[in-house]
Chains A and B, each alone.
Chain A
Amino acid sequence: DTGVSQDPRHKITKRGQNVTFRCDPISEHNRLYWYRQTLGQGPEFLTYFQNEAQLEKSRLLSDRFSAERPKGSFSTLEIQRTEQGDSAMYLCASSFSGEAFFGQGTRLTVV
């Protein structure tokens, strides 16, 4: 499978715990994006990497959120001290030139 891969697909965590999600993009894609999608809404941009450089962060990305792409390949998104409002689908996408390909997403439920 040469598509965008996300792990885990589902995560249930208690409020206050930290969680980390992983995204493996399509191998030749230099751009990687994280989006968040809540019920009934379209995906909202969180952050964007070109190679290993994080070029933009949305105001939606509070201090509790951090993303890395250490070698310009896979990326991780960490949420510290989770809150119930963090419950959402977290989508990763990668692109080379304009057209973004999405992974299956990680569904986070904070209880």
Chain B
Amino acid sequence: AQSVTQPDIHITVSEGASLELRCNYSYGATPYLFWYVQSPGQGLQLLLKYFSGDTLVQGIKGFEAEFKRSQSSFNLRKPSVHWSDAAEYFCAVGGTMEYGNKLVFGAGTILRVKS
């Protein structure tokens, strides 16, 4: 069965510091991979996606992610965090026809930014 693991429930970083959020997945086919961000009480906003091709993908708000097939990972990175990045981040896998186009989400990582 498909599954997504986000090992870190909470992460705290200083403003201006670099960030890496981890995501590991289990999926029976070549996956589509996504990172979403959610502010409290709000819906999910897509940060970036990987469908195929270049394994380093760029997203909005200065985020990037790298797909590593050998490690079944899709970690999210940002070189310099801003206070407005504080939110919850979800990694998701799926969206392919083999699995009904639906997404499977990780449990999320809450990012806190300290000044």
Contacts and interface: CB of A to CB of B under 8 A. Distances in A.
Interface of A: 4, 6, 31, 33, 35, 40-45, 48, 50, 55-56, 91, 93, 95, 98-105, 107
A43 B46 contact: no
Interface stretch (B11-19, B66-74, B95-103): B95-103
B48 to A, nearest CB: 10
B84 interface: no
Interface of B: 4, 32, 34, 36, 41-46, 49, 51, 90, 92, 95-96, 100-108
Contact of B43 (A48, A91, A95, A98): A91
Given A40-B107, A44-B105, A91 B44 contact: yes
Interface of A is mostly: strand
Contacts of A91: 43-44
A98 B105 contact: no
Contact of A45 (B32, B41, B102): B102
Contacts of A102: 36, 43-45
Contacts of A105: 42-43
From B46, B96, B105, residue with most partner A Cβ within 10 Å: B105
A41 B100 CA distance: 22
B106 A95 contact: no
A55 B100 contact: yes
B96 A98 contact: yes
Contacts of B32: 98
